[in-house]
Chains A and B, each alone.
Chain A
Amino acid sequence: MSEENSKSLNEILNIDADLGGAQRKFPHMPLGEAVDMGFTEDGVPLIDPRIFDSGEFGRNPYPYYRILRDHYPVYYDQLHNSYFVTRYEDITNCYFDEIGFNTIPKGSSSGVLGNTQLELSGIEHRRRRNIYGRHLVGAALTKRLYALEEIADELISEWWLSSNPKEVVTDNERGTVTVELGKAFANEFPISVVAQVLGIPQEARQQFTWWYDAMMSGLGGSETHHEGLEARQDLEEYVEDLVEQKRNNPTYLTDQMGDNICLDIISELCNSEIDGDVMSTEEITSFIALVVGGGGETTRGAIMNLWYLLLQHPDQLEKVREDSELWDTAFHEMLRHSTSIGGQPRHNTYDITLHGVHIPAGSLIHMVDVSANHDDRIFTNPEEFNIFREDLYSGKILRSGHDKEGKCSHMAFGVGPHLCPGAWISHQETVIGSKILDKTLRNVRINSDRMPKDIDGVSLAPIGLGSIRELWLDFDLPK
């Protein structure tokens, strides 16, 4: 080999540049712009899969999803050994094809949550879902809406207690009050509702909230996974006793007049039989964990994101206040714009080829609901928050995902058999809770000084993936 060639060997291998090559720090970009990760010869942007683990992606995901939708509608991420499906129509088709696309047994949440509905398919999924689904929709819930109002009123009344459990800051001189909406309301409200519907006794509610927090933070093999498992174990031990009690003495949810409406969910599960077998405590704990997870964090995020977005669009907030029916519309547009549920994983049962990409059977496919919600094949100007948009279906939540005219709903609750069973109760919690909040939050505005900031140190931190963590509000002291 010539001297010239021997020099080039180091250059070709590019050893120095590759040291430290397993991880990459991506610069934070202006919102809506993607990091330059290179291009193909045809000018198509490349996607470096390390971006999905980056802080940049968490705060600014949409330009990357746009690249995927436009150029790689099925993207194989070799680093994470998974596929991404990002277009609305493709995801919808997959969700409806239960034979071709299966839920994932022993998914990433199963360590903490257990064997949940999310992981079942077909008739097994239906049987179990039907046991508790009726508690979360329809007449049974309608009769319980008053309880939501009671819980919300009770939480807000705590703002004025002398013990100040919600850490409310009152400035009598200026006549203003400052609260962090999560701490003051949104963190606790959905959990209290869920605990009540489940039939958790009042005295255990605080402990229940702790279990919930620990389990949520321990999902997906995260760093706090172990704490999540311990919380689940605690919950299971608690539920074991509760189940024994309720097997013998089932308890009921009551309406405003104190009349029984139906069994609470745990009593229902304790006394249900599937294929001749009663459900085990482990199964019931898993149900509870799922309902808590599904009904807690997501609704908390919905309340936070809804207020954050409306306060950044005061003209729309004004319209909502003028016409209270617009709270429903705003709720749906918020979920389209900034849902806190990223998507659902599926396995394909058979080899398939989609958009020219061959996907071997059994591959992990991420159905990216967040991306579908920003698919401009369905929604015009998808990055814009506009409660008056005409291309979003905002009526009764439909399993089909679209109305008779073909207008599409957002994908935050999914579509098809696995449509979120808690969609309606989450909707009611967010809207009822927000209406009650609105009565107290006079002349409300964001307290920018206390808010987490974006990379420039000035702008407010974007919602990004998930939901906003803190929302500091100033409002006028009630007279």
Chain B
Amino acid sequence: MQDQEKYDIDEEPASAPGYRTYEVYQRERVGETTNLIKPRELISDQYLQDPYPLVGLLRENYPCYRDWLGNRFWLTRYDDVTSIFADDRNYETRPKTWFYNLGNYGQNLWSEVSVQKAFESSVDNHVEAIAGEILFGWDSGHFDLAMEFCAKIPLQLWGAILNLSEEELSQFIPSYLKMQRGVGWDPLRKRNGLDALKNLETLLNPIFSDRKKEPGTDFISAIAQCRLAERETQVSDLVVTILELDHETFHGGLANLWFNLLKHPNELGKIREDERMLKFAWLETLRCTPPVISAKRFSRTEIERFGRLLPKGALMMCSAAGANRDPRQFSTPEEFIVGRKDLCQREPRGQYRADGLPSGIAFGLGQPSIYPAVPKERPRSLYAIVRDSAVAASSLLLHEKPNIKLVDESNPRLRSLLLNEMHTCWELEVSG
């Protein structure tokens, strides 16, 4: 209470200078009514199952919605969302370690070219084999494409990237998933996630130490051999890089791709006619049903945008679900159309508008690569790696099961299991 001791009892302390001027904050109009939506609807089961009506309502009525319950601002229009992504000066991304309150634990080394190259070659070398092995195990009966194929491939790929034995992989998977799911607000999951993170460290430490001594050309070796300014790389750097890389866009995107194709046989027909259309189906999937439906950005400074005074530190909920179905950008945005003409066929981050066309916005792929994509020695972007992997696995599936279709009377749907988790299909019963 030392500050108070400066003052006599009941004497007021000298006033501090005004932090913001009255005039600045007077500019924002008061009395805005937002009666069409209740903040709790944005954390409701309805939102987890089908966020599109709710974010559509926001987009058309409250383009920068002040959600008092979640202390955040929702952006749902395409131009608004993409303007945030393109504005690193005013808005920051906080890493998953921040949400874990892990301070300086480990460093994400994804920006290192050697790490990207090792990752790229591992994925390219293994994805078809992994997909093939899974399909080999599919007998003639029903098959849950969501859990047996789409969910497993990314996890198996991690096994290949990290060069894990089957025994190690069986330990890796539960810890990895718990670690990823612990990033959110749930204290039990966070506790379990932190335990899992430590387990991963223990599991990967011997391999990391070996690669440190005898490096190869693999992903772990690439991280082990990175040169940091102040210290040697440690296994925590490997764990954090895995944590940040995640698997959700690959898993969720692949599941949503097949959900969309199987629910729209005409669109699947386009691919059967010309397999090259798979790439466009992937792009349209990320636009129409992005697995990561929103991303968080924090304002670095007090700033007036979208007709509001956004305080420093404001949480901006950038909704891909809202932006990707913005009728200002896409005609009939609710429809899944493979090869739609108003979608840019480039990296779907929104910043790029090749040919003047907007792309769908897909999160979960981190920041755009800091390296230009043109020189051949550069690795492809993470987006491109994931896209090519999804296309390769899907192509194989189509070859192996050309008559694939939904099981009669099955009614697959998309949903998030928890708030801020991916919006995808968790059960997709097929025959073929």
Contacts and interface: CB of A to CB of B under 8 A. Distances in A.
Interface of A: 1-2, 4-6, 8-10, 12-13, 15, 18-23, 37-38, 40-41, 46-49, 53, 76-82, 89, 92-93, 96-99, 102, 104-106, 108, 110-112, 114-115, 119-126, 220-221, 223, 225-226, 229, 232-233, 282, 286, 347, 349, 357-358, 360-364, 396, 398-404, 416-417
Nearest to A4: B170
Contact of B419 (A22, A92, A363, A364): A22
A81 B19 contact: no
Nearest to A120: B22
Given A1-B155, A12-B174, A106-B28, 11 more contacts: A2-B166, A21-B417, A22-B43, A22-B418, A48-B186, A78-B185, A105-B311, A106-B25, A121-B16, A121-B19, A364-B71
Interface stretch (B7-15, B234-242, B261-269): B7-15
B25 A1 contact: no
Contacts of A358: 101, 103
Interface in B1-36: 1, 3-4, 7, 9-13, 15-22, 25-26, 28, 30-35
Chain A CB within 10 Å, residue with most, of B33, B38, B302: B33
B141 interface: no
A124 B47 CA distance: 42
Nearest to A103: B19
A278 to B, nearest CB: 14
B156 interface: yes
A221 to B, nearest CB: 4
B184 interface: yes
Given A23-B43, A360-B298, A102 B19 contact: yes
B25 A115 contact: yes
Contacts of B177: 12-13
B16 A122 contact: yes
Nearest to A81: B71
Interface string B294-334: 00001100100000110111110000000000000000000
Interface stretch (B116-124, B145-153, B380-388): B145-153
A441 B188 CA distance: 52
A360 B4 CA distance: 25
Given A81-B72, A220-B68, A18 B418 contact: yes
Nearest to A46: B187
B417 A400 contact: no
A77 B22 contact: no
Interface residues of B, number: 80
Chain B CB within 10 Å, residue with most, of A19, A21, A221: A221
B40 interface: yes
Contacts of B33: 111, 225-226, 229
B418 A98 contact: no
Nearest to A125: B15
A211 to B, nearest CB: 14
A115 B26 contact: yes
A123 B17 CA distance: 6
B25 to A, nearest CB: 4
Contact of B173 (A12, A115, A225, A357): A12
B22 A124 contact: yes
B17 A80 contact: no
Contact of B18 (A106, A124, A226, A360): A124
Contacts of A232: 31
Nearest to A89: B1
Nearest to B92: A360
B19 to A, nearest CB: 5
A38 B71 contact: no
Contacts of B4: 92, 96, 400-402, 416
Contacts of A233: 31
Given A226-B33, A362-B313, A15 B417 contact: yes
9 contacts: A12-B173, A40-B191, A82-B71, A98-B16, A122-B17, A125-B18, A225-B33, A226-B33, A363-B313
B58 to A, nearest CB: 13
Given A226-B33, A360-B313, A399-B10, A76 B101 contact: yes
Interface string B67-86: 11111100000000000000
Contacts of A225: 33-35
A319 B174 CA distance: 64
A358 B103 CA distance: 9
6 A-B pairs with the lowest CB-CB distances in the bound complex, closest first: A362-B313, A362-B312, A226-B35, A78-B185, A98-B16, A122-B18
Contacts of A226: 33, 35
B44 interface: yes
B69 A53 contact: yes
B68 A108 contact: yes
Contacts of B13: 96, 98, 416-417
Given A93-B1, A111-B32, A79 B70 contact: yes
Nearest to B43: A22
B313 A5 contact: no
Contacts of B39: 221
B10 A105 contact: no
Contact of B30 (A1, A37, A115, A364): A115
B71 A398 contact: no
Given A20-B45, A48-B187, A123 B18 contact: yes
A119 B25 contact: yes
B418 A21 contact: yes
B35 A106 contact: no
Interface string B186-212: 111001000100000000000000000
Contacts of B35: 225-226
A125 B25 CA distance: 13
B126 interface: no
Nearest to B42: A22
B44 A22 contact: yes
Given A18-B417, A360-B298, A362-B299, A396 B191 contact: no
A334 B187 CA distance: 34
B178 interface: yes
Contacts of A122: 15-19
A254 to B, nearest CB: 29
A210 B356 CA distance: 55
A4 B167 CA distance: 12
B34 A221 contact: yes
A258 B169 CA distance: 89
B173 A5 contact: yes
A41 B35 CA distance: 44
Contacts of A402: 1, 4
Given A9-B147, A48-B186, A360-B313, A97 B12 contact: no
Contacts of B259: none
B70 A98 contact: no
Interface string B164-182: 0010011001100110000
Contact of B11 (A41, A119, A220, A399): A399
Contacts of A93: 1, 3
Given A81-B70, A362-B311, A111 B18 contact: no
Nearest to B20: A105
Contacts of A221: 34, 38-39, 66-69
A109 to B, nearest CB: 10
Given A22-B47, A80-B69, A89-B1, A12 B19 contact: no
